[in-house]
Structure 1
C-alpha cells in the first residue's frame, strides 16, 4: 500500500505549515489561548480562506477532501503550532451534519467551511467517563416539538459556539446504544446556559445546561433513537484528528529537545554527547515513529467497515496516549528545570500531549474498547 501523500495534500500541508510558522508564533498562540474567547475569530476565517476546513469534507458536502489522510494532514500541521481555533468541533459536528442532516442542517456545513460559524459537540456528561452510549440528557417529544433537559460537560469552545450538536436520550436505558438521538441546538435558544472556563493546555471549554429547552421538530438530526452510529462515526473522525495533532506536537517537542541537547553545555561539552542521553533520545525517536505508524494505520482504515475502522482508531489512541506521555516526560527531563517554565514553548507542547490522551477517551478506555471490538 502506498502511504505517500498526494500532491494536493503535500501542498496543503506546506501552505498550512508556512502559515502557522509565520502567523501563529508561540506568543500569538499563548495570548489567544489565555484570552476571554480562547481563540481568534479573525484567524478562524483566515484558516478557512486557506481551505483548511474545506479539506475535512468531501466534495458532495462542499469541501475537497474528507478522507482519513486529509484529516491527518490538517491536524498534524495544527499540532505543530498548538492551534486553538475550533477545528475539532467543526470536524466532528460537520461530519455528523453531512452524514445524517436534512437540507437545512447540511447548509450549516458551508458556514463552517467558510469560517463564519463555530460548532461544538455537547455529548460528554459529568458521569459518562468516555462511554459513548451513556447519555442521561433527556429529549421528550410533544405537540410543539422537542423539550431537552440535562447537562453536558467539557464542551470545547462551548461559550463561543454558534450552535451545538447535542446527544439526548429519547428511549431506552441510560447506557443503551439504541435510544440516542442527536439535535442541532442554537447557542441562543431559551433555556441554554453556558459557563466557560480556561483549560490547562490552553483554550477554553464550557459546561452547558439545558433547562427545558423547547425546540421545533426540525432540530432532530437523522432518525429518532438512531443517533449512536452517526455519533460513533463522527467522534471517530475526532479521534483520528487528535492522534494526528499529537503526532505534530511530538515532532516539534523532538526538534526542541534535539536542539537543546546540541547547545546546552556541561563540563565544557554539549550534553548531547553524553551516551546516556543519546540512548534516551534514540529510544524516544523510535517511539515517535511508532506513533506515526499508528496514525497512518488509522487514517488508512478510516473508510473501512465499522469494526476494522474503530479498532484501528482505538489502537492509535492507545499508542498516542502512551507515547504522548512519554514524549512529554522525557523532553522535559532532558531540558531539566527550564523545561517546566511557562516561557518555554516545550512546556505547553508537553501539557497538550498529556491532555490529548483525555479527549474522546483515554488510553485505558480505548484499550478496553479495542479488545471488546476484537470479540465482535
Structure 2
C-alpha cells in the first residue's frame, strides 16, 4: 500500500476534520433531501471546499490550484464517502479538471473551479449502461463551429452545472473511439433542455436534450475527432476517484455498524460478543483494506503515468464497489429492524453505494475491462 508523506497526512487530517464537522448526513444529505433542493448539495459547502483549497486540488498552481495528484484526491474522496457528503467534487474538481488540463479552456474555467464557484458535469452516456465508445450524439460542422443534436443520460449535477463536458460524434460510428470530440457547453446554451432527476441516494442527475445546440470551434477540448484522449483522462480520474469514495462509503458503514455492535444488547449481552457477528465484521474489515489498497495503487499509478494504470483503475473500481455493497448490506442486516428505517443513517450508505457503484461503470463493466486489458 502507498506510504503517505507528511504533507499527504496533513491533507488527510484536514479533510477528515472538515467533512466530519461540516459534511455530515444531518447537516448536508438529510437537510438538502428534506427541503427538496434541486441541486442535491449546498453551494455554501462547495465554496468552503474552495476556501480550503480542496476544489482546486488538481488545478495547476499557476492557475490558482494546489497542483496535487490522484493520491491526494483519493484521500479527500475517501472522507467524502465516509460522511456521505453531497458535493460536485468528483465531477468538477477531479473529472472536469483532468479533461480541461492543458487545453485553451483551462484558463477560463480553472479559477472558478478552484474558488468553489463553478460546477462542472460530464455528459457521456446515452443508454442505460456506461458505454463511452457508444457515443452517438451528433456534432456537425456549422459555420465556424458545430451543431450538437442528441441526448445524454445520467449526467450527475447536470442541472446545476455551469459547464457541461459533452462527448459527441464528429466522425465514425457508435462503438468506435475514433471520431469522438469533447465539447465544453455552457449551461445557458440555446436548444439545451434539462430534465433534473432525483437518484436513490438523493443526489441529482439530469437527462440532457440537445436540439441543434450551436457551439463555437473554441468549445472543442483537444482535437476534433480526437476527443477520446481528454475523455479517457477524465474517466480514468473519475473512476479512480469513485473507487476511493466507495472505500469511504464502505468504511463509514462499517464504522457505524461496529459502533452499533458495541451498544446493542440482546439476550442480556452486547451483540458484538457473538462470535458469528465478530467473524462477519472481521471479514468486512479485510475486504475494505483490500479495496483501499487497490484504490491507492490505482491513484499512484495514475500519478506516475504508468501503463498499468488503466488496468488498476478498473480493478479498484470493481473491488471498491463490491466492498461498499458488502459493507452496506452487512450494516443494514446487523442493525436489524432499525436498519430499514429512514431515521437511521445506515440505509443511506446502501443507497449511495448503489448510485456511485454505477457511475463511470459498474462492477461488471470493469471486470470485463480488466479481462480485455489483460488480453482475454
Cα separation, 2, equivalents of 1:327 and 1:346: 10
Cα separation, 2, equivalents of 1:115 and 1:296: 26
Report how far residue 304 of structure 1 moved: 4.4
* Partner SS, residue 215 of structure 1: strand
Structure-2 residue corresponding to 1:347:
347
Structure-1 residue corresponding to 2:121:
120
Q: TM-score, normalised by structure 1?
A: 0.95
Cα separation, 2, equivalents of 1:172 and 1:288: 42
| 8 Å CA contact retained: 1:191, 1:213 | yes
The C-alpha deviation readout for 1:276-306, integer Å capped at 9, x for no partner, is 1111111111111111111121112113456
Q: TM-score, normalised by structure 2?
A: 0.95
Residue pairs, 1:196-235, within 5 angstroms: 196-235=196-235
Structure-1 residue corresponding to 2:296:
296
| 8 Å CA contact retained: 1:122, 1:164 | yes
Cα separation, 2, equivalents of 1:107 and 1:211: 26
* Partner SS, residue 50 of structure 2: helix
1:61/1:177 CA distance change after superposition, 3 Å = farther
| 8 Å CA contact retained: 1:193, 1:210 | yes
Report how far residue 338 of structure 1 moved: 0.8
**Aligned to 2:86, which of 84, 87, 90?**
84
* Partner SS, residue 242 of structure 2: helix
Structure-2 residue corresponding to 1:369:
369
The C-alpha deviation readout for 1:304-357, integer Å capped at 9, x for no partner, is 456411100001111112212111111111111111211111110122123221
| 8 Å CA contact retained: 2:153, 2:207 | yes
Residue pairs, 1:1-376, within 5 angstroms: 3-29=2-28, 30-33=30-33, 34-90=36-92, 91-99=94-102, 101-102=103-104, 104-126=105-127, 129-305=129-305, 307-375=307-375
Cα separation, 1, equivalents of 2:304 and 2:9: 23
The C-alpha deviation readout for 1:50-85, integer Å capped at 9, x for no partner, is 111122233354322431211111101111221111
Cα separation, 2, equivalents of 1:260 and 1:303: 38
What stretches of structure 1 of length at least 5 have no aligned partner?
none
| 8 Å CA contact retained: 1:164, 1:185 | yes
| 8 Å CA contact retained: 1:315, 1:366 | yes
* Partner SS, residue 211 of structure 1: strand
Cα separation, 1, equivalents of 2:227 and 2:301: 22
Q: How much is the aligned-residue C-alpha RMSD, in angstroms?
A: 1.6
Cα separation, 2, equivalents of 1:372 and 1:32: 41
Cα separation, 2, equivalents of 1:15 and 1:212: 46
Cα separation, 1, equivalents of 2:132 and 2:375: 18
| 8 Å CA contact retained: 2:199, 2:355 | no
* Partner SS, residue 263 of structure 1: coil
Aligned pair count? Answer: 372
The C-alpha deviation readout for 1:27-58, integer Å capped at 9, x for no partner, is 22211244222111111111110111122233
Cα separation, 2, equivalents of 1:369 and 1:198: 29
